[in-house]
Amino acid sequence: MEPILQVKDLSVYYGVIKALKGVSFHVNKGEIVALIGANGAGKTTTLHTLSGLIQADAGEITYNGTNLRKTPNHKIVGMGMAQVPEGRRVFAEMTVLQNLKMGAFTRSSKAEMEETLADIYKRFPRLEERKNQLAGTLSGGEQQMLAMGRALMSHPDIILMDEPSMGLSPIFVNEIFKIIEDVNKDGVTVLLVEQNAKKALSIANRAYVLETGSIVKEGDAKDLLNDDAIKKAYLGE
């Protein structure tokens, strides 16, 4: 199977600190791949490097056969890669609908955009109910849905999700993970960075464990869920 995303020996420095130390992993088309690890392990840095927000100091990022290290970050979304950032980052002073439309800036056809919007409303009925409400007035869970809806407006092949469960109530956490599974079933590949390792491993196909900027373990998500060392370190068992 040809990976949709291939990362080889990725290294990133913040000044003199080496944040990523030769990270290598791949994501196959149609998979949910989880990247788990403690705070400060380098998970968010990895995602930001993939989407071009941070420049890598060494290594290769190949997405659908294209070298992303030579691609300006504003072009990456147009190539079918969308990101749901940590902390949601919705435009608080804009309405739900305006936020969603911001996600479609790469789409040239208005008809296509309207069609996608209808799909998003079907997936997130709450967003349709609140489409004229300011995004800043939504609950945390609703803002997470909006951030996901906005990313899906670009019709991505792969979606990078950064800590989608952060700060949410358990009910919303379950709802968000169910949506991630549904989005994946509809053909979108998912790279999931998540501190809630148990939840992430329960929906992922495969996973990588990141510790202080290095991948220390990888494997089938179900195997990692039952791995004693992982249970102790990340699952609180």
> For residue 38, is it within any domain?
yes
Residue 105 inside a domain? The answer is no
The count of other CB atoms within 10 Å of the CB of residue 67 is: 10
Residue 131 lies in a domain: no
Residue 108 is assigned to a structural domain of this protein: no
Question: In one letter, which amino acid is 132?
Answer: N
> Is residue 129 assigned to a domain?
no
SS3 177: helix
- Contact between 78 and 106 (Cβ < 8 Å): yes
Instruction: Tell me the residue range of the domain where 55 lies.
Output: 3-85+152-234
Q: Are 152 and 159 in contact (CB under 8 A)?
A: yes
Instruction: Please give the tally of structural domains in the chain.
Output: 1
What lies within 8 Å, CB to CB, of 109 at 6+ separation is none
Read off the pTM: 0.91
Neighbouring C-beta atoms of residue 60, cutoff 10 Å: 14
Residue 40 lies in a domain: yes
Does residue 43 form part of some domain? yes
Cβ count near 231 (within 10 Å): 15
Sequential pLDDT tens for the chain (237 residues): 679 999 999 999 988 888 899 999 999 999 999 999 988 888 989 998 998 888 889 999 999 988 888 787 778 878 889 989 887 689 999 999 999 998 887 777 888 888 899 999 999 999 999 999 999 999 988 999 999 999 999 889 999 999 999 888 888 899 999 999 999 999 999 999 998 899 999 999 999 999 989 999 999 999 999 999 888 888 776
Cβ atoms of residues 91 and 49 within 8 Å: no
For residue 74, is it within any domain?
Answer: yes
The three-class DSSP label of residue 40 is coil
Nearest to 151 by CA among 161, 142, 141: 161
Which domain CATH number covers 8? 3.40.50.300
